[in-house]
Amino acid sequence: EPEVTQTPSHQVTQMGQEVILRCVPISNHLYFYWYRQILGQKVEFLVSFYNNEISEKSEIFDDQFSVERPDGSNFTLKIRSTKLEDSAMYFCASRQDLDTQYFGPGTRLTVL
C-alpha cells in the first residue's frame, strides 16, 4: 500500500540554524500538508499546498517557514532560523481529491 515517507526521522540542530524537512507524498495525491506536534500537545496545522502554491497557512507559519515542491515528488518544509520552540514532531500529509489525509511517520526536530 502506498505511504507517505519522511526524512530524516530525527534532526538535531543548533538554534539559529536552517533545517529542511523532507516528505515524499503518495504519488497521485494533489494536496499536501505540514502539521506539527509539540511534545505533550495536540497536533496543529501549519500549511496546506496545492497546485504549487500555499492554499492556507496558520499563524504559526510565519516568515521563518517556507514550503516547496521542488521536483514533483518531494515536498519540503524549511525553517530558516530555528528557535528552541520549534522543537516538535513535524508530520507531512497528503490527500487525493475529497478524501482522507494520509500521514507520514514524522520527523522529530530537536533545537538545542
Partner 1 sequence: AQSVTQPDIHITVSEGASLELRCNYSYGATPYLFWYVQSPGQGLQLLLKYFSGDTLVQGIKGFEAEFKRSQSSFNLRKPSVPWSEAAEYFCAVCFMEYGNKLVFGAGTILRVKS
Q: Which amino acid is at 44?
A: E
81, HSE (Cβ side, Cα atoms, 13 Å): 4
- In the set 19, 25, 29, 31, which binds partner 1 (CB under 8 A)? 31
- In the set 67, 75, 79, 104, which binds partner 1 (CB under 8 A)? 104
Single out the segment in contact with partner 1 by CB under 8 A; choices: 12-20, 21-29, 34-42, 71-79: 34-42
Asked if residue 23 lies in contact with residue 5, where contact means CB atoms within 8 angstroms, the answer is yes
Is 25 a binder of partner 1 (CB under 8 A)? no
Query: How would DSSP label each residue in 33-53?
Result: EEEEE-TTS-EEEEEEEETTE
Is 61 a binder of partner 1 (CB under 8 A)? no
Length of the chain: 112
Q: Give the C-alpha separation, 33 to 12, whole Å.
A: 22
Number of residues that bind partner 1 (CB under 8 A): 23
Question: Would you tell me which residues interact with partner 1 (CB under 8 A)?
Answer: 31, 33, 35, 41-45, 48, 55-56, 58, 91, 93, 95, 98, 100-106
